[in-house]
Structure 1
């Protein structure tokens, strides 16, 4: 028989600091100091108050404390979606780094939708966060101006601009696309294709790719976030445009995985008949068969650096470098002829 749902009776009342003080046998001010400024009371008193907190189930009202100190100890984070593997290391390291300094990350998903991004930013701002970390650049001029007027630290990530709202940790997507195109051309491949999501950053990488190639190439555009099924669909579309394709660049590793599956289903050998390169260096990329050549970005470093900038600004410390370019590198594996041991 399933356990009954937990509910509060009509007379339920949350424990207060008065209850804690009464349980511990101390004054209200002593209980408050033991929880908020323990250096002012003895270790024995702290122990008594902590036991009283456990006995009463008291939960400190952080909002009330935040109103007094004008600090919420909360940082708002916006990501397109947590289902995209490339963003997970950033979210994890950002969460851990902020937590180490006493801040909690509140996460929101924009879904690659700019109007939703604006609405979510407004909701986050209304909660009075101590800082905001955004994946990508904020494109709405109205939102950018509002964020500037807030006077709190803002870090845009996973992109590059010489005019950030406040601070930025990222890299150039134009350069990524250009580097992959140069890599393909250096291999002697000229019948090239692009499978890309319809998001802004994917479009920038396509732009950089085409600028280096010097002409249009067969392109399949799929909705972001991309996945294996969309990758299969993308390759089918590309092969309709050019049945003799030599190499395909994909805007994500998930998309590239689908391209590999579709190529194998059609009897195409990778990389002998078709070379494939992804983006993001997801944890599965090195373990596919064949292993996937991809573009590696240190997402964990982006999270750590963003947290460091937020905390430093909250402490009133000077920021020596407002724009940090973490760069990227192409990791060559079997899908473009690299060695099996490269991971």
Structure 2
């Protein structure tokens, strides 16, 4: 900063004002200082500045993965909403492991973020305690917990599953299954499991068993997972009429396996997924799915945080504490009404 002040011909205090509150400095002085900063390649020490301001100007986002385009869209929406307020995004990913989430939370808190955004509402006990005691805004995303740690922006994965089951039932299907990943390993897709739980609840309400819900493999799901898991389902119930996959990714794998087996979709079997991924829109036939605006989740979270940061102390309650973005069922070509057996009405 001393070098910048000498080159620009101003005091160090003026350089500090240009960086912290440029509106207090004349345009000519600001441009002279910024030119000196550019010439010297000076990078302000945000950590040193945070010792007095108690702000680090970065937000931590903890996501299951970045290979899933929906989570990537959420991160982008969050970053875009934070950028005008000069907040940067620091991302950690858990690989669907609660123990890894706990480790990341501990590591990130040691770097003093101004807020933490975390996907999901289920955490280890130590992780929950750290978040509760953090003294900064915490936003749980991609779900709507009954009792959020602080704030939440998302939708009900349980209701997504219920909507999927109701759709397949409305088409007249009765031999209905679903495919997801196992829940007895280290990596668990808790949101996918919540969808399956909602799906099963509607089947039971309709007097249909949930024994055709197959959980196989570990999170995250893949095209291979969809192919392998629907193979297990078809071996167990060759007469299955309709299948819900917890993700379009596994739904696409299941669709390809049906093609290989000569099973016509939707004439022989209706299939639907979740997420409205590009591949679901572009494959043939296009996959019936449930759409969530992933980027909107990020934008709304960022806007919520900026408002919180502008409140006195940065931790005031913001109402409502939970924002439900909802979801939309998108019927496409992989689902169709059940075909009645000849002679039946």
Instruction: Give the TM-score of the pair, scaled to structure 2.
Output: 0.90
* 1:201 is aligned to 2:185: no
Instruction: Flag structure 2 segments of 5+ consecutive residues without an equivalent.
Output: 183-188, 338-345
Name the CA distance, whole Å, in 2 between partners of 1:200 and 1:175. Answer: 14
Number of equivalent positions: 322
What does residue 12 of structure 1 align with? none
Asked whether the 8 Å contact 2:4–2:33 carries over to 1, the reply is yes
Change (3 A) 1:177 1:137: same
Deviation of 1:30 after TM superposition, in Å, equals 2.6
Deviations 1:153-191 (A, max 9, x none): 000011121210000111112211111111111111111
* 1:223 is aligned to 2:218: yes
Name the CA distance, whole Å, in 2 between partners of 1:257 and 1:304. Answer: 28
Asked whether the 8 Å contact 1:94–1:304 carries over to 2, the reply is yes
Question: What secondary structure does 2:334 align onto?
Answer: helix
Name the CA distance, whole Å, in 2 between partners of 1:23 and 1:169. Answer: 47
* 1:30 is aligned to 2:29: no
* 1:155 is aligned to 2:139: yes
Asked whether the 8 Å contact 2:171–2:336 carries over to 1, the reply is no
Deviation of 1:318 after TM superposition, in Å, equals 5.1
Instruction: Flag structure 1 segments of 5+ consecutive residues without an equivalent.
Output: 1-16, 339-343
Name the CA distance, whole Å, in 1 between partners of 2:44 and 2:269. Answer: 60
Deviation of 1:23 after TM superposition, in Å, equals 1.5
* 1:118 is aligned to 2:112: no
Name the CA distance, whole Å, in 2 between partners of 1:237 and 1:303. Answer: 36
Instruction: Give the TM-score of the pair, scaled to structure 1.
Output: 0.90
Deviations 1:266-292 (A, max 9, x none): 111110011110011112221110001
Name the CA distance, whole Å, in 1 between partners of 2:159 and 2:318. Answer: 26
- Summarize the alignment of residues 264-303 of structure 1 with structure 2, pairs less than 5 Å apart: 264-303=259-298
Name the CA distance, whole Å, in 1 between partners of 2:175 and 2:27. Answer: 73
What does residue 172 of structure 1 align with? 156
Name the CA distance, whole Å, in 2 between partners of 1:36 and 1:306. Answer: 25
What does residue 87 of structure 1 align with? 71
Change (3 A) 1:262 1:174: same
Asked whether the 8 Å contact 1:135–1:157 carries over to 2, the reply is yes
What does residue 14 of structure 1 align with? none
What does residue 303 of structure 2 align with? 308
* 1:210 is aligned to 2:205: no
Name the CA distance, whole Å, in 2 between partners of 1:221 and 1:124. Answer: 33
Name the CA distance, whole Å, in 2 between partners of 1:192 and 1:273. Answer: 13
Asked whether the 8 Å contact 1:168–1:323 carries over to 2, the reply is yes
Alpha-carbon RMSD across the aligned residues, in angstroms, is: 1.5
What does residue 50 of structure 1 align with? 34
Question: What secondary structure does 2:2 align onto?
Answer: helix
Name the CA distance, whole Å, in 1 between partners of 2:92 and 2:6. Answer: 40
Asked whether the 8 Å contact 1:192–1:217 carries over to 2, the reply is no
Deviations 1:194-244 (A, max 9, x none): 111331111111111111111223214221111111111111111111111
Deviations 1:87-133 (A, max 9, x none): 22211111100112211110000011011110000011111011011
What does residue 100 of structure 1 align with? 84
Name the CA distance, whole Å, in 1 between partners of 2:197 and 2:15. Answer: 61
Name the CA distance, whole Å, in 1 between partners of 2:237 and 2:324. Answer: 36
Asked whether the 8 Å contact 2:177–2:210 carries over to 1, the reply is no
